[in-house]
Amino acid sequence: SLVRHYKFNVVLKNTTRLCATKPIVTVNGKFPGPTLYAREDDTVVVRVVNHVQHNVTIHWHGVRQLQTGWADGPAYITQCPIQTGQSYIYNFTLTGQRGTLLWHGHINWLRATVHGAIVILPKRGVPYPFPKPDKEEIIILGEWWKSDVETVINQAMQMGLAPNVSDAHTINGHPGPAPNCSSKGFTLHVESGKTYLLRLINAGLNEELFFKIAGHQVTIVEVDASYTKPFKTDTIFIGPGQTTNFLLTADQAIGKYLIAISPFMDTIVAVDNQTATGTLRYVDTPAFSPTSLTTLPAVNATPVTSRFMESLKSLNSEQYPAKVPLTVDHSLLFAIGIGVNPCATCLNGSRVVGDINNVSFVMPSTAVLQAHYYGINGVFTDDFPGNPPIPFNYTGTPPANLQTMNGTKVYKLPFNSTVQLVIQGTSIIAPESHPTHLHGFNFFVVGKGVGNFDPKNDTKTFNLVDPVERNTISVPTAGWTAIRFRADNPGVWFFHCHLEIHTTWGLKMAFLVEDGEGPNESLPPPPGDLPTC
C-alpha cells in the first residue's frame, strides 16, 4: 500500500453558470473539485489550506476513518473549523472499502461548491467482481444557486422558513446546454461496443434525484463503496451523499442520447423542478444528428424509488461477505422530522426546526470529540434518548408533538456493541423522504416499510442475509428504515439528514463510541495541527 499526498487550496474562483458569473469557494479553483484516487489500504494525506474569508472543514463522506476520528471533518463534531490562513492535514487509511465516495465541505452550506469524488480502486492485482470495464468516468450531480449560497441560508434562518430552491441542477458542474451563453453542458463520449464503469455521485444539497440515460439499460454494481449484486435498471435513484457505480455498454445505434436528472419529492415541499441534461455521444456520430430523448419519472414517483431501493442487495460473495450483526445490544427508534418552534428573534415569531426524538441538535462552540477526549465539561450531554420520549402516531394526521427541545446530546455506545436503529419518518408539519447519513460506519439496511414501525411483525421481515451496505439511506415519506451496525470505531460520529437544510434546522445527533480495552481499540491522540475553536 502507498501513501498518497494531496494539497487542497481552498480559494475563491469566479465561475460562470446560467449566463452569470460569481465568485465561489472551490478547492484548487475547480468546480467540482479534484478527484482523490487511491487503492484499498492506501493512506491518504490531504493538506487543506484555507485562503478564503470563510471557515472550512472537509469531510470524507463514507470513509470509515477507523482509529482516525480526528480526520472525519464535520465542524464542531470532530474538529474546530480551519480558519482563514490556517491549514490542517487530514490523514487516514482506506480500510475494507472499494468503490466511489465523495468528499465535501462540512460547515454551513460550503458543500454546495466544495465537493469532489473519492475513487478507491481494489488492491493491486485484485479484479472487480464484475466484467472489467474498458474505461471509467465520474459523474457528479449538484445544485447551483444564482445568488450566494450563504445568503440563501441566512435569509431562510432569519425568516424561520424554508430556503429558496436551487436555480439549476448540474451534471459535472454544468446545468445543461445553454447556447445563448455559449455553455455546452456535459458530454460523455463513448465508443461503440465498449463497456464503461460510471461512478455517479449526488453532491447536491437538498434534493434526491432520478438519473437516466436515454435508450440504455445500466447494471448497478456498487453503492457507497460496497459491492452489490448486479441488477439492471433504466433509472437510478440517488440521494445527496450517495454514490452508485454502474456499468454502461455502448450497445445502441451510433448517435446522441440524452443524460437527464430530475428531483424526487413525493410531498408538497417545494423543489427545484429543473431537469438538467447532458449528452451521451457515440464517437463518429455525425455533427447534426438529433439527440434521443427520454422521459424521467414524475417528481412524486415513489414506486420507482422503492423498486430501486428494494433491488439493492449486498454482493455477499465468499470474498465480500455481508457481515450483518445477528444480535442487537442497542435497539433504538429515532423519530425524525421537521417541526415548528417559537422563536423570538425570527421575523415570523416561529421557526422551522428539525429534530430526532424531540431533540433539535445545537452545534456546540467547541468540537464534541475534543470535549470528549480532553474531558471538557459543559459542551455536550450523553442523554440522547434512544426512543421517542412520548410514543405517538408518527405518520398520522393531524400532527402531534410539535414542541422540540434544543440540546447538544450524544448517544453513548460501548466499543464493539451492536446497534439496530429504526429511523421512523414522521408527519410533523410535512412528511418527507429523508436521506440520512451516519459518519464512521457502513450499516446494513435490514428493512423498510410504510406507516408506523411495528416491532413485533416488522422485525420478522428483516433481511439479515444480504442487505445492502451503505452510509446514507433514504427513509421513505411517512415510513421507516431499519439499519444495523457494529460500533467498532471509537470516536464521535455524526448522524444527520443529508438534505443540508434539514441538517441546518437540527435534524442531527451524534453517537459517541467509547474506547475498547484491546490494542487498536482506542482513539489515538489528536494530530498536532488540529484546529482550535
Phi first, then psi, for residue 112 (nearest 5°) are -50, -45
| DSSP type of residue 314 | B
The nearest distance, CB 27 to ligand C2O, in angstroms, is 15
Q: How many Å apart are CA 394 and CA 382, to the nearest integer? A: 25
Binding letters toward ligand C2O, positions 20-59, x by CB under 6 A: ---------------------------------------x
**Binds ligand C2O by CB under 6 A, chosen from 313, 484, 496, 502:** 496
Q: By rule CB under 6 A, what count of residues binds ligand C2O? A: 11
* Class of residue 467 by CB neighbours under 10 A (exposed 0-12, middle 13-18, buried 19+): buried
- Supply the minimum distance, in Å, between the C-beta of residue 59 and ligand C2O: 5
Q: Could you give the CA distance from residue 55 to residue 157 in angstroms, rounded to a whole number?
A: 19
Residue partners of 389: CB distance under 8 A and separation at least 6: 357, 358
58 versus 247: smaller Cβ distance to ligand C2O: 58
74 binding ligand C2O? (CB under 6 A): yes
In the complex with ligand C2O, the residue whose CB is nearer, 59 or 484, is 59
Q: What is the DSSP letter of 451?
A: S
Q: State the Cα–Cα distance between residues 506 and 457, nearest whole angstrom.
A: 31
Instruction: Give the distance between the most distant pair of CA atoms in the chain.
Output: 69
Stretch that binds ligand C2O, among 48-56, 297-305, 401-409, 494-502 (CB under 6 A): 494-502
> Is 494 among the residues that bind ligand C2O (CB under 6 A)?
yes
- Nearer Cβ to ligand C2O, position 102 or 446? 102
Instruction: Determine if 104 is a binding residue for ligand C2O (CB under 6 A).
Output: yes
d(CA 359, CA 380): 13
Q: Give the DSSP H/E element, type plus range, for residue 386.
A: none
Q: Where in 105-124 is the site for ligand C2O (CB under 6 A)?
A: 106
Using the rule CB under 6 A, is 76 a contact of ligand C2O?
no
Least distance from ligand C2O to the Cβ atom of residue 102, Å: 7
Dihedral-angle region of residue 111 (phi above 0 means left; psi in -120 to 50 means alpha; beta otherwise): alpha
Altogether, the residues listed in the chain come to a count of 533
Shorter beta-carbon distance to ligand C2O: residue 496 or 502: 496
| 350 grid coordinates | 416561529
Residue of 61, 281, 372, 470 that binds ligand C2O (CB under 6 A): 61
Closest CB 496 distance from ligand C2O, rounded Å: 6
490 near ligand C2O (CB under 6 A): no
- Cα three-residue angle 181-23-31, rounded to 5 degrees: 75
**What single letter denotes the amino acid at residue 420?**
Q
Q: Which is nearer to ligand C2O, 110 or 304 (CB)?
A: 110
Name the residue number minimizing CB distance to ligand C2O.
61
Task: Using the rule CB under 6 A, give the single segment among 16-24, 29-37, 473-481, 492-500 that binds ligand C2O.
Answer: 492-500
418 contacts 443 by C-beta, under 8 angstroms: no
> What is the nearest approach in angstroms of ligand C2O to the Cβ of residue 475?
16
Shortest distance in whole angstroms from residue 50 CB to ligand C2O: 19
* Candidate residues 17, 437, 470, 486; the one interacting with ligand C2O per rule CB under 6 A: 437
Shortest spacing between CB 72 and ligand C2O, in angstroms: 9
User: In whole angstroms, what is the distance from residue 152 CA to residue 191 CA?
Assistant: 42
Q: Compare residues 470 and 498 and give the one whose CB is closer to ligand C2O.
A: 498
Distance CA 114, CA 28 (A): 10
**Least distance (Å) between residue 77 CB and ligand C2O:** 8
- What's the closest the beta carbon of residue 410 comes to ligand C2O, in angstroms? 15
Query: What is the contact mask toward ligand C2O in residues 334 to 353, using x (rule: CB under 6 A)?
Result: --------------------
What does the per-residue mask of binding to ligand C2O show for 227-246, with x meaning CB under 6 A? --------------x-----
Smallest gap from Cβ 432 to ligand C2O, in A, equals 18
Residue 216 as a binder of ligand C2O (CB under 6 A): the answer is no
* DSSP-assigned states of every residue in 417-479: -EEEEEEEEEEEES---EEEEETT--EEEEEEEESS--HHHHGGG---SSB-EESEEEEPTTE
Closest CA to 264 of 423, 147, 102, 141: 141
Binding segment for ligand C2O among 127-135, 305-313, 493-501, 522-530 (CB under 6 A)?
Answer: 493-501
Cα(384)–Cα(360) distance, rounded to whole angstroms?
11
Pairing mode, if any, of strands 243-249 and 235-238? unpaired
Least gap, CB of 62 to ligand C2O (angstroms) = 8
- Per rule CB under 6 A, is residue 486 in the interface with ligand C2O? no
Tell me which DSSP letter residue 488 carries.
-
182: left (phi over 0), alpha (psi -120 to 50) or beta: left
Region label for 255, one of left (φ > 0), alpha (ψ between -120 and 50) or beta (otherwise): left
Show the cell assigned to 166.
436551487
Interaction between residue 435 and ligand C2O (CB under 6 A): no
Q: How far is the CB of 469 from ligand C2O (least distance, A)?
A: 17
* Residue 314 to residues 61, 62, 126, 465, Cα–Cα distance (Å): 20, 16, 19, 9
Q: How many CB atoms lie within 10 A of CB 413?
A: 22
Q: Which span (17-25, 225-233, 398-406, 490-498) binds ligand C2O, by CB under 6 A?
A: 490-498
Residue 439 interacts with ligand C2O (CB under 6 A)?
yes
The single-letter code of the amino acid at 158 is Q
d(CA 98, CA 224): 9
Q: How far is the CB of 493 from ligand C2O (least distance, A)?
A: 9
As separate numbers, helices (DSSP H) first and strands (DSSP E) second, the chain gives 5, 33
For ligand C2O, give the closer residue by CB, 215 or 364: 364
Cβ of residue 148: shortest distance to ligand C2O, in angstroms? Answer: 21
- Per CB under 6 A, residues contacting ligand C2O are 59, 61, 74, 104, 106, 241, 437, 439, 494, 496, 498
